[in-house]
Amino acid sequence: MYDKTSIIVAPATTLGQSAIGIIRLSGPIETDKQKQAAILQILFKVFRAKYLSSADLNTNKEREERCCLKPWTLHRGVALDSHGQEIDDVLAVYMPGPRTFTGEDCVEIHCHGSRVILETVLEACLNAGARMALPGEFSYRAFMNGRIDLAQAEAVSELVSASSVQGARLAKAKLDGAFGQRIALLKEKLLSLKAKLCVVLDFSLELSGDELDNVSEAEIKQNIAELETGLKALTKAYQRARAWRDGCMVVLVGSVNAGKSSLMNAMLGRRRSLVHDIPGTTRDYIEESINLNGLNVRLVDTAGLRQTDDLVEADGVEFSRELLSQADYVLFVKDACFDLSEEEKELLLTHPDHILVLNKQDLLDTSRSIVYDACNTKIYISAKKSEGIDTLLDVLHEKLLLKMELGKSFEQNSDLAPNLRQNKLIQAALEELNLFDLDLENKMPIEILSVRIDIILDKLEEIIGKTDLDEVLEKVFGDFCIGK
């Protein structure tokens, strides 16, 4: 998958316009102290320290300065292009391994954040003998060199892509190793359980019936209960973390011309959905994100629900119903001037996590009493005049926090939250644990019970990368950005 013997290079910052841009290199540690590190040989082809004059080039003074380049210190100098011409005033730092992120010898060149300059320095590094890093290769080397476990490596990517402060905190906690420590504790409980089984297996002839029952029924049952509690806590944390990290999905549904698109625009504070008096204007779904007091919310505007002969619109209506099943919460938009139809009442009953948004309150005849008894929460608004929008957003925020069990502030126990890949492995471990419990009830041979435990251990070890799974590693690090 990756060649671990070469020196890799990549921009650590975006190739755009900014104040500072960084080129990062990493390569194998030079074990021979009498030799100059290979990564320094590349550095000195693209960088010249400021205190070296042109008269010093190719002299003993230059060679002396190069050999004693002080590590972990920013050195001012100039960056050179592939032809040895000066291109920029820069800072360079040499960081010898293994106490680096990758566990290897590393170099960073801090340039001015011009795309042209960064690409020129990058090209010079490539011509000097480095090769372009693959996506996630720096983090892969950190993992392979034991600097981080697989869960921490994934946390690097999660931290870079975090869409909220809470999501960043979740990733930071995993990067610090808290999640890996929790998995290690669960592994210890499993090993303790396996040890008890070995006692029963190895000493079954020496133990009395009562002693054997005590080991198998009391202690083992207690271990199973503790393991199940720990694994379920992590799956629950996954649901909370998913909301903080990826955002909650809120779907706007309702009949045609109820004002869904107008409400979408009002909630976003800008025009995003096309609004028109002609029914069926929205045929496909439109998704945008908003931030509700730190919680990322994905708003999805859908096609109006109605019977139609238009094939394209009919597909949009069908897709709207599919999105309903995926929603964390539903905003059911209704023209406040009309009563709910039987179909609409049925939709409300089948989707209890909803808010009935009664739009066009400015056109409502206040002398007319309308009863909406098929909903949990109803709010009157005027999307056109942006009346009641703040109230709706506040209520929606509270409802989402309650449903996702997020609390009003960041919860400490949410720090130990798995991602999708990790959660699938935890779910598989839970299923295997349930089978173990069933086998225990059915008095299955201890050898079979022991195999169950080994399978659970394999699942947990796969989470933190303790097993040799090239395909898993390729998928995990392949999703990273280049330079991480």
pLDDT value of residue 10: 96
CB 109 within 8 A of CB 46: yes
pLDDT-derived band at 63 (thresholds 50, 70, 90) equals very low
| Domain identity same for 262 and 310 | yes
Examine the pLDDT at 331 and tell me if it is beyond 70: yes
To the question of whether residue 259 is assigned a binding role by annotation, the answer is yes
d(CA 104, CA 147): 10
Q: Is residue 409 part of a domain?
A: no
Of the chain, the end-to-end C-alpha distance in Å amounts to 16
453 sits in which H/E element: helix 446-464
**Structure-model confidence comparison of residues 261 and 118, the more confident one:** 118
**Structure-model confidence comparison of residues 220 and 395, the more confident one:** 395
- Which residues lie below 8 Å from residue 348, measured CB to CB, with a gap of 6+? 332, 340, 354, 356, 374, 375
pLDDT value of residue 293: 82
pTM across the whole model: 0.61
Each residue of 191-226: pLDDT tens digit? 888 877 776 655 544 444 444 444 556 778 888 888
Highest-scoring range by mean pLDDT, 209-213, 233-237, 254-258, 455-459: 455-459
pLDDT value of residue 375: 63
Q: Is residue 424 part of a domain?
A: yes
Examine the pLDDT at 409 and tell me if it is beyond 90: no
Q: Is residue 362 part of a domain?
A: yes
The percent of residues in the chain predicted with pLDDT above 70, rounded, is 75
To the question of whether residue 164 is assigned a binding role by annotation, the answer is no
Q: Is residue 154 part of a domain?
A: no
Each residue of 224-252: pLDDT tens digit? 888 999 999 888 888 777 777 677 889 99
Examine the pLDDT at 18 and tell me if it is beyond 50: yes
| Domain identity same for 333 and 288 | yes
For residue 218, give the DSSP letter. I
What is the CATH number for 20?
3.30.1360.120
| Domain identity same for 274 and 310 | yes
Of 352, 380, 403, which marks where a domain is finished? Answer: 403
pLDDT value of residue 60: 46
pLDDT value of residue 441: 83
Q: Where are the alpha helices (DSSP H) in 5-114?
A: 38-46, 60-67
Domain that holds residue 12: 8-145
Q: Mean pLDDT throughout 104-122?
A: 96
Examine the pLDDT at 271 and tell me if it is beyond 80: no
| Domain identity same for 432 and 460 | yes
To the question of whether residue 261 is assigned a binding role by annotation, the answer is yes
To the question of whether residue 180 is assigned a binding role by annotation, the answer is no
pLDDT value of residue 206: 46
pLDDT value of residue 273: 47
Highest-scoring range by mean pLDDT, 21-35, 309-323, 463-477: 21-35
The domain total for the chain is: 3
| Domain identity same for 220 and 250 | no
**Structure-model confidence comparison of residues 220 and 318, the more confident one:** 220
| Domain identity same for 251 and 393 | yes
| Domain identity same for 139 and 266 | no
Q: Which two tokens stand for residue 65?
A: 């300065």
Of 376, 403, 430, which marks where a domain is finished? Answer: 403
What is the CATH number for 207?
1.20.120.430
Task: Find, among 134, 147, 206, the residue nearest to 177 by Cα.
Answer: 147
What is the CATH number for 315?
3.40.50.300
pLDDT-derived band at 23 (thresholds 50, 70, 90) equals very high
Q: Is residue 484 part of a domain?
A: no
Q: Which of 60-74, 325-339, 354-368, 446-460 has the lowest mean pLDDT?
A: 60-74
Examine the pLDDT at 13 and tell me if it is beyond 60: yes
Q: Mean pLDDT throughout 409-427?
A: 73
To the question of whether residue 301 is assigned a binding role by annotation, the answer is yes
To the question of whether residue 24 is assigned a binding role by annotation, the answer is yes
Q: Is residue 448 part of a domain?
A: yes
Task: Please write down the long-range contacts of 369-373, taking CB distance under 8 Å and 24 or more positions apart.
Answer: 370/336, 370/339, 372/334, 372/340
pLDDT-derived band at 483 (thresholds 50, 70, 90) equals low
270 sits in which H/E element: none
Q: Report the mean per-residue pLDDT for the chain.
A: 79
To the question of whether residue 257 is assigned a binding role by annotation, the answer is yes
pLDDT value of residue 406: 67
To the question of whether residue 302 is assigned a binding role by annotation, the answer is yes
| Domain identity same for 55 and 129 | yes
| Domain identity same for 19 and 81 | yes
Examine the pLDDT at 414 and tell me if it is beyond 80: no
Q: Where are the alpha helices (DSSP H) in 164-269?
A: 165-175, 178-203, 209-213, 220-246, 260-268
To the question of whether residue 204 is assigned a binding role by annotation, the answer is no
| Domain identity same for 396 and 258 | yes
Q: Mean pLDDT throughout 310-314?
A: 54
pLDDT value of residue 48: 92
To the question of whether residue 10 is assigned a binding role by annotation, the answer is no
To the question of whether residue 108 is assigned a binding role by annotation, the answer is yes
Q: Is residue 156 part of a domain?
A: no
Pairing of strands 286-292, 105-113: unpaired
Q: Mean pLDDT throughout 348-371?
A: 76
| Domain identity same for 18 and 91 | yes
Highest-scoring range by mean pLDDT, 99-108, 352-361, 446-455: 99-108
| Domain identity same for 221 and 307 | no
Q: Is residue 15 part of a domain?
A: yes
Examine the pLDDT at 68 and tell me if it is beyond 60: no
Q: Which of 115-124, 179-188, 307-316, 375-384 has the lowest mean pLDDT?
A: 307-316
